[in-house]
């Protein structure tokens, strides 16, 4: 007789990595939201955070959260559908809709719930989700939870997107899902082409811009950067990155948001975003709207690192954003490189299958507006030393 728990005893990969000292996951950091962190007693430059604008430590954001905590308490203890909606939520939704240039927005308690709730509300039996192969897991899960059918197309391959759409029956509803900024490669979706293809085949378009809002398009997102706000059906954003909080939102037409609001089970059956989190987002939004220098600095830092990493000989893929992959290749070597960089004082995020192809494992690095040139140069020196020692890059002769 099969035992459901048999799989538990055969799962040994993590234990083996721990024995080798290269297991990177679920290990504790302290003071992790600044440009440096303490990792198991070691001071490291933080190149693993999504805190792109550095606002989690901004006194104004912290103050807004503290004030809301004092006024509203730690939780709303209810769903948005019933007692969990505060005027603070409505204010945030109005501000976000105006900020991204759409009619309405709806706030969820996490970014994952935003995607799952939106997709499951819209897709039903006989509908199709046509997704980029590198679309985020939360949208994949949303499709799997819905009664719709999932189709995938090769990453950023518009010929393949058109091929997939051309084979679908005309009577089925179609939702194309792409990321604005891809979270592993740091590249952008070719939105102009995506919009044109969707229009030709009568498909609706959802852009997951979790890593774009606050950074691209002067902070207003990738859809705004491409000038396509009036041609994209809906865009999603999160608060756990540039907005220094937790949660997410979907924005689109007023009718669309009204429908999702009444059909998204992830919204209806979850407690609402706590007031301190919502207040922190509003404070971050104020800063993004009035102090563009934060966005300018994160781009300056990213461009500096991308150029210097490539000059050293590292493969940074197709990155054009503050997410810069350092592609190592083999999984074990990726773990070794991660551990060596920790010892050298740099924290990165190792990414292995299934998040990458088997021979394209990478270290995901990301940059903040609050990194100084000294932080970045310290990181580059570590990359150079580790890269040369592990024969990842050529040895550079001292000048």
Long-range Cβ contact pairs of 139-146 (< 8 A, separation 24 or more):
139/115, 139/177, 139/206, 139/208, 141/112, 141/115, 141/116, 142/115, 142/116, 142/117, 142/118, 143/119, 143/177, 145/116, 145/119, 145/120, 146/119, 146/120, 146/122
The CATH T-level fold of domain 57-290 is 3.40.640
Output the pLDDT for position 317. Answer: 96
CATH number of 6-56+292-389: 3.90.1150.10
Output the pLDDT for position 96. Answer: 98
CATH 3.90.1150.10 residue window(s) in the chain: 6-56+292-389
Quick one: DSSP state of residue 79? B
Blockwise average pLDDT, block size 10, the chain, 399 residues: 92 88 86 85 95 96 98 95 96 98 98 98 97 96 97 98 97 96 97 98 98 98 98 98 97 98 97 98 98 98 98 97 97 95 97 88 98 98 97 79
Q: Which two tokens stand for residue 366?
A: 């990301």
Output the pLDDT for position 397. Answer: 63
Output the pLDDT for position 399. Answer: 42
Output the pLDDT for position 33. Answer: 67
CATH 3.40.640.10 residue window(s) in the chain: 57-290
Q: How far apart are CA 329 and CA 343, in angstroms?
A: 21
CB atoms within 10 A of CB 13: 11
């Amino acid at each position: 007789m099969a035992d459901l728990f048999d799989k538990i005893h055969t799962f040994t990969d993590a234990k083996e990595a721990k024995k080798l000292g290269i297991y990177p996951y679920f290990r504790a950091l302290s003071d992790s939201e600044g440009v440096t962190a303490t990792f198991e007693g070691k001071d490291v430059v933080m190149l693993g955070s999504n805190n792109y604008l550095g606002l989690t430590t901004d006194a104004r954001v912290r103050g807004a959260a503290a004030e809301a905590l004092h006024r509203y308490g730690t939780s709303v203890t209810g769903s948005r559908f019933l007692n969990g909606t505060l005027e603070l939520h409505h204010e945030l939704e109005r501000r976000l809709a105006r900020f991204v240039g759409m009619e309405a927005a709806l706030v969820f308690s996490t970014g994952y719930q935003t995607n799952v709730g939106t997709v499951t509300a819209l897709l039903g039996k006989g509908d199709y989700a046509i997704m980029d192969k590198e679309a985020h897991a939360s949208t994949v899960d949303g499709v799997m939870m819905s009664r719709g059918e999932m189709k995938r197309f090769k990453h950023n391959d518009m010929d393949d997107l058109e091929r997939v759409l051309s084979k679908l029956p005309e009577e089925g509803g179609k939702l194309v899902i792409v990321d604005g900024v891809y979270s592993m490669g740091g590249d952008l979706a070719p939105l102009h082409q995506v919009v044109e293809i969707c229009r030709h085949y009568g498909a609706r378009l959802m852009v997951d811009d979790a890593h774009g809002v606050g950074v691209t398009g002067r902070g207003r997102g990738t859809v705004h950067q491409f000038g396509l706000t009036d041609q994209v059906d809906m865009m999603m954003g999160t608060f756990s990155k540039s907005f220094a909080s937790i949660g997410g939102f979907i924005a689109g037409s007023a009718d669309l948001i009204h429908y999702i609001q009444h059909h998204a089970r992830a919204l209806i059956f979850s407690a609402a975003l706590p007031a301190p989190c919502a207040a922190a987002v509003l404070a971050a939004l104020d800063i993004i709207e009035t102090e563009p220098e934060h966005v300018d600095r994160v781009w300056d830092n990213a461009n500096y690192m991308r150029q210097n990493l490539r000059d050293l000989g590292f493969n940074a893929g197709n990155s054009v954003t503050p997410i810069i992959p350092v592609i190592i290749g083999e999984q074990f070597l990726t773990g070794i490189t991660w551990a060596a960089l920790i010892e050298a004082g740099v924290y990165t995020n190792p990414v292995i299958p299934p998040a990458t192809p088997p021979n394209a494992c990478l270290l995901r690095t990301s940059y903040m507006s609050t990194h100084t040139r000294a932080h970045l140069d310290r990181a580059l020196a570590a990359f150079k030393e580790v890269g040369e020692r592990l024969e990842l890059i050529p040895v550079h002769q001292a000048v």
